[in-house]
Amino acid sequence: MDALGIRLKELRQQSGLSLREFARQVNVSPSFVSQIENGKSQPSVATLYAFSQRLNVTVDELFEGAPGTVGLPAADTRQRDNVLTDPASAWRPSEFANRISVVHPRHRSRLDMAAGVVWERLAATPETSVSFMKIVYKPGASSADTEELAHHAGYEYGYVTIGQLEVRVGYEVFVLNAGESLGFDSSIPHVFCNPGSVDMEGIWFVHGRGDHAGSTSRQK
């Protein structure tokens, strides 16, 4: 979290945003942003999405401090098309993988998103706008800090291997047990939480609206 706070402050300042203005644009309080930047608080998955979208970086760049395109004006669509800003693009396309990717459990890229939420990348290919990952939610863990639901372009598909996951999609609430799965249009506001007493583990596939790397059409 200390590394996240340092990186967040660096990106915010590079984008020319004051702490108060940044907080206003991502719809959180200035004190909450300050606590995150000082390593005293953990943002939820939904808040990390909002941060990455406003700063035009991938989620893993917030954690790793990798170089990214920061503070691009909204009109600069040519450059923005190369910046990944939703959960389908949590990781940068791999520079080292070709069309085949085999990942040993000890070599997975891992993101400790918020208190009790972990993502592990299960494959690393050059394809953009796709995330194939193992997710873990500790008991009581949620993808949002508040009642506000997240939404983004594309579709999500999930399979619960251990425990329970409560998924709210729009006005519908589903409780998935081990062995159960779902798919939904992720432009519908949604939130996840673990209502059980044991860790929830699952396999998740999130596909955004982008095209395969190397395609002649532009990523949206």
Q: How confident is residue 160, by pLDDT bands cut at 50, 70 and 90?
A: very high
Give the span between the Cα atoms of 209 and 207, in whole angstroms: 7
**Residue 117 DSSP label:** E
Residue range 15-24: average pLDDT? 91
Looking at per-residue confidence, does 19 or 96 come out higher?
19
pLDDT per position as a tens digit, 99-126: 777 778 877 888 887 678 888 989 877 7
Average pLDDT value for the chain: 77
Q: In this predicted structure, which of 79-88, 102-111, 130-139, 141-150 has the lowest mean pLDDT? A: 79-88
Looking at per-residue confidence, does 100 or 24 come out higher?
24
Instruction: Return the HEC string of the chain.
Output: CHHHHHHHHHHHHHCCCCHHHHHHHHCCCHHHHHHHHCCCCCCCHHHHHHHHHHHCCCHHHHHHCCCCCCCCCCCCHHHHCCCCCCHHHCCCCCCCCCCCCCCCHHHCCEEEEECCEEEEECCCCCCCCEEEEEEEECCCCECCCCCCCECCCCEEEEEEEECEEEEEECCEEEEEECCCEEEEECCCCEEEECCCCCCEEEEEEEECCCCCCCCCCCCC
Q: How confident is residue 27, by pLDDT bands cut at 50, 70 and 90?
A: confident
Q: How confident is residue 85, by pLDDT bands cut at 50, 70 and 90?
A: very low
Which of 73-77, 105-109, 178-182 holds the top average pLDDT?
178-182
Does the pTM surpass 0.75? The reply is: no
